[in-house]
Amino acid sequence: MDRPERPRLSSLSDFRFGAVATETIEDTLLHLAQQNEQAVQEAAGRMGSFRETRIVEFVFLLSEQWCLEKSVSYQAVEILERFMVKQAENICRQATIQLRGKTEPQSWRALKEQLFNKFILRLVSCVQLASKLSFHYKIISNITVLNFLRTLGYLHTKEELLESELDVLKSLNFQINLPTPLAYVEMLLEVLGT
């Protein structure tokens, strides 16, 4: 969709601090709409499974405890959701391969237990990754995360924490900085001038 080039600011005197040109807002809205449309097409009804109220509340409370911005909480929930969907897909794929290959299948109970045992570690890894995306705020250190996990009774090493972050990143092909619902709301509020 080719549009004629719009005139930009002609001089520095046209520049106003804190004001965004209408063209910039329109371009950003179009870009967000395209990203949203692509995300909806890719989701195909499987998203939302890991956005239970308790999980989302836990992420937001944890982010609040660590003095993180709300945007970090939203980003962490999105990362966690996408990661857990990938994990569930991988488990189903492995089960299918095992059935076809007639190898000894892992029991569903063992797979569920494996996911359950690492869930809190994965959750805090997602919060930590989200905090790194908003580096101009506050990045959560490994020591803070390990101390938090220890208070919950989980004894993980620094290496396990780093491996968990890397597992999340690899599972999502390092594509973790996607727009959240908050980005859309903030953009719409900007357009409306509130």
At 7 the pLDDT is 53
At 144 the pLDDT is 92
d(CA 126, CA 192): 32
Domain ranges of the chain: 48-182
Q: Which CATH class is domain 48-182?
A: mainly alpha
d(CA 181, CA 115): 27
At 138 the pLDDT is 74
pLDDT digits (tens, 9 = 90+) for 82-93: 999 888 888 778
The amino acid sitting at 145 is V
Tokens of 51: 């956005």
Instruction: Kindly tell me if the per-residue pLDDT of 147 is higher than 90.
Output: yes
